[in-house]
Chain A
Amino acid sequence: MRYRLAVPVILLLVLGFGAAAPAEAQSWKTVAKSRQRRGQDFLDVKINYAVGRFELKRGSDRLLYRLDSKYDEEAFKLTSSYLESKGRGSLRIDIEGHEEVDLKDLKDYDFEAGNLSVDLTGATPVVLAMKFGAAEARLDLGGLRLQNLVLETGASDTHIWFSETNRETAEHCSFKAGAAQFRVDNLGNSRCERITVSGGVGTLSLDFSGDWDHDATGDINVGLGTIEIAVPSELGVRVERSTFLMSFDAPGFEQPKIT
């Protein structure tokens, strides 16, 4: 319970301690960028987002990607690049603090007002790697053609869901949560063959409901946090656990008799 309280406190400290800051102290810059889909057969996406609100979802299939961002150019720097070779595209989006700016010194600062929104095509296979610092992230990965997913969060409040079935079979989905609230819904729609979840200090919630048309293995490691795993009653699950100073409750599960 202590960590459930701790994560919002961390987020408040990092994101919102300057919510009442005067707007004129910040120099906002908005960037909108989009690229037409023209026969690309693969897209490698890497996103590194330091502080703010982040959204990702499926967009129009006419576009390969679209990004909209608002950030303070005095404190942060947006770098986005797209390279393509023989139909294979590589998209890099990076929003980081300026090296000469120490974010800890920016008192009365409205970090929360910054945002990044990314739309990806549902028509091209995508490999997605994302890294968040202190961000509030909302990701609807449903309907994409996701082949691989790597997500790493710091002190973030992250909610991921698969509103539709993944249109590809994903080889590996890896989630690494730091001091964070971390929630994934409808993992059954992800069509991930291997799911790796690693939690530090925070609350993790994994919901395995969705359209299960495949077998999957998962490896879940939790440090000092708590984790809640919800599995549909009709789904057969084999659990191997190893705990140290942690309790493990599995209400509603029935252990099959081994004959």
Chain B
Amino acid sequence: MMKNKLLIFLAAAVLLLVLPSVAQYAGNFWVRIIDFALLYVLLALGLNIVVGYAGLLDLGYIAFYAVGAYMFGLLASPHLSETFPAIRALFPGGLHTPLWVVIPLGAAIAGMFGVLLGAPTLKLRGDYLAIVTLGFGEIIRVFLNNLDAPVNITNGPKGLLQIDSLKLPFVGFDFGKNGELFGLPVSSVTKYYFLFLAVVVVSVVICYRLERSRIGRAWMAIREDETAAKAMGINTRNMKLLAFGMGATFGGVSGVLFSTFQNFISPESFALQESVMVVAMVVLGGIGHIPGVILGALLLAALPEVLRWVSGELDLQMLTGGRLDAAILRQLLIALAMIAIMLARPRGLWPSPEHGKAAPTPAT
């Protein structure tokens, strides 16, 4: 059994390492899709802490993604120094905060936002919590959209442009440029692939350890029965805040990675639909179960892109007289998948094995 597991691990590792070089031959476009899928995996893992472990339904999760993305965007793009002369005087070469400062900072600030959001919602449960978090998400988006006046902070709906790509200091390694390794070309997206993969692997380890730790067990106790958890001496307030904070940290880091990868961000990327999508990934895959969550994220992030390519090849727009195009088809399929998968497997595609017994029955 142990040996089998090790083999599977090794096979997966080899597969993950060669995957980008294979995909690169088919075109950088495919590697890009995989990169985005990895970002979604990161988001889904973070939300899984809040929704899956602690059982707090958060519909505004994308707000933390936005916080991370905008923080990096502001600290590593010409926007701030162009708008404020004081900042230009301080940094004549423009603001180029290195990623190694920004990732911890992004994690910390997003985590702080998570706790801030968590604090007023502690008393709320279930659906009230869902709608309040949804409201928070919208509030952040509306502010991002409108904070270009009276002082231009976020540049409004136009978004932030020319965000730095990622560079390793001292060795002169630039993730934004194509390079080569042992004479083989390595494109920029492939470099990002390995970075994202590393972050995802670290996150999986963190989540795995959390799940089995005292904290993880406390979260699950709160999820199953908050009153009982309290009676067992769990500080439910602090634990819930910790769940919000931890989840938000993941969101913040993936936001930072997103903005450096994309080099451009605008409030559009952080709409409610994205939050819904991440919730769907977690629930479709198998709530509270790491492999399931990863599967859900990959499915919902990558499959539609594949379909987009297929429909492009078929020239669907011509076939249907402009009514159906790739983007519409993608939405349609995501919607159908959300309904069909839930109907066929209400506990998700790959649910955690022991959760079934403890699933709460509705108190009717």
Indicate whether A and B interact: no
Q: Using CB atoms and an 8 Å cutoff, list the residues of chain B in contact with chain A.
A: none
